[in-house]
Amino acid sequence: MKGLVRIMAFSMLAVVEHPVSAGNDAVAAQASAASGAAALSKARDASGGAAWRLIKGLRGDGQIEVSRLPGTWSRDEDLSSGRWAARADVGVFRTAEGFDGSARWRQDPSGGVHPLDGAFSRRASVTEVWLTRRGWLQPDAGRARIGRASMQMENDRSFVVIDAVPRGGQRVQLWFDAATYALDRTIRTMPISTLTVRYGDYRFVAGVRLPFTIESRDSGSSDVELVRVASWISQDRFDAAAFAAPKAPDDTTLAGATSVPLETDGLIAVEAKLNGRAFDFILDSGGHNIITPAVADALGVHPVGEGASGGAGGGELAQRHVRIDRVDIGEATLSDQHFYVIPLQYTTVERGRVRRWRACWASRCSSASRCVSTIRARR
C-alpha cells in the first residue's frame, strides 16, 4: 500500500511542478497538424480542387509488368464508399484483390480466393479505403490524424512528407513533390516488410490530376510491379460485381474420400503426381505450389519470368513461373495448376529416410492442395 501511495504522490508532484507541459504538448500538436493541413490544402488545389467533387468513381486500364512478365491491368475505384478492385493477367498467372464495401479479399496466382480479415489486415484495409477515396484531398483529410509537414531531399528533388493515420487504420507516409504538390509516393509498414508505391506521369482527366505510372516495391523482394495506365475514365456508378471477389476456379475433381500415405521427419511429405510422374511434396500451411528447376527440366516444362522470392530474412532466391497440366494426390485430380520455380537449397529437397504414416482427406482437397510448398524428384 505504501508503494502505491508513493507512486500517486509522485504523479501528483509531476503535475504540480509542470503545470503547462500538457498545454504545451497540445499547442505543439496543433501546430504540427496545421503545417500538415496547410500542405494538404496545397496538394488539393494542385490536383484539381473542387473538380474532385464531381468525380464519383474511376476506371483505369493499362499494362503491367511483374517478374519481367508483361500483361494487362485494370482498376475500379468508388470514391464515395472506398470500394476498389484491381486485376492483373500476365498469362502464366492471374491475380486480383479488392474491397467490396464490407470485406477485403485477394486472389493469388493459384486461383485461390482468400478473405483478409486478421487484425492487421483490417487496419490496412481502412487505410486503403482512405487512399482510394483520396482522403488527403478532402477538406477534413477524411477525418484522419495528420502529422506535421517535414522537408526531405532525394536525388536533388525536394519533398514535403506527412504522416497520416486514418481513423481505425494503419499509418501511411505521404510524399509530395515540393514543386508541384503531386503525390509522389506512399509508404506503409507491413508485417515483415515495407511497401512503397510511387506515382508519376501525371495528367489531367476530367479536371483532376491522375498518375499514369504506378510502381510498387516491397522491401522483402527486389521484384518491382510497374503499371502503365493507358486510360482513366470517370464513372458515375458501378455494378456491385465490379468489386466482388471472383469465384475460385473449378479445377478439382474428387469422387469420394481418398487416403494417402504421409511421411514425417520434422516435415510432412506426401506423394503426388505431376503430369503422371511421382514426386514428394512437403506440406506447408503458409506456402505455395513450388518446384525446383530440376523438376521443371524432368517434366519438360519451360518456366517464364525473372522474379525474386524473399521472406522474413534478408536473402532471396530467383523465382520463375510455370503451369502444370495435371496434379494427382491420391484419387484427387487438380488441373492447370500454377507453380513457382525456385532453386531451393540441397538440404530442403534431400531428406533421407523418413517414417511413414497415413492420413485421410475428406470429400474435397482443393484447400489442402493449395498448401503444397516444396517438391523434389523421386529417386
The pLDDT value given to residue 258: 86
In a shared domain, residues 225 and 273: no
- Domains held by the chain: number: 2
In a shared domain, residues 180 and 271: no
Q: Domain holding 303: CATH number?
A: 2.40.70.10
In a shared domain, residues 58 and 172: yes
The 3 state secondary structure assigned to the chain is: CHHHHHHHHHHHHHHHHCCCHHHHHHHHHHHHHHHHHHHHHHHHHHCCHHHHHHCCEEEEEEEEEECCEEEEEEEEEECCCCCEEEEEECCCCEEEEEECCCCEEEECCCCCEEECCCHHHHHHHHHHHHHHCCHHHCCCHHHCEEEEEEEEEECCEEEEEEEEECCCCCCEEEEEECCCCCEEEEEEECCCCEEEEEEEEEEEECCEEEEEEEEEEECCCCCEEEEEEEEEEEECCCCHHHCCCCCCCCCEECCCCEEEEEEECCCEEEEEEECCEEEEEEECCCCCCEECHHHHHHHCCCCEEEEEEECCCCCEEEEEEEEEEEEEECCEEEEEEEEEECCCCHHHHCCCCCEEEEEEECCCCHHHHCCEEEEEECC
When pLDDT is averaged across residues 326-333 and rounded to a whole number, the result is 94
Report pLDDT digits (tens) over 9-56. 222 223 333 343 444 444 344 444 468 999 999 999 999 999 999 999
Domain limits at 69?
12-242
pLDDT for 374 beyond 80? no
Q: Domain holding 143: CATH number?
A: 2.50.20
When pLDDT is averaged across residues 65-89 and rounded to a whole number, the result is 97
In a shared domain, residues 151 and 21: yes
In a shared domain, residues 215 and 262: no
- Last residue in a domain, options 242, 266, 298: 242
Among 77-86, 232-241, 253-262, 348-357, the least confident range: 348-357
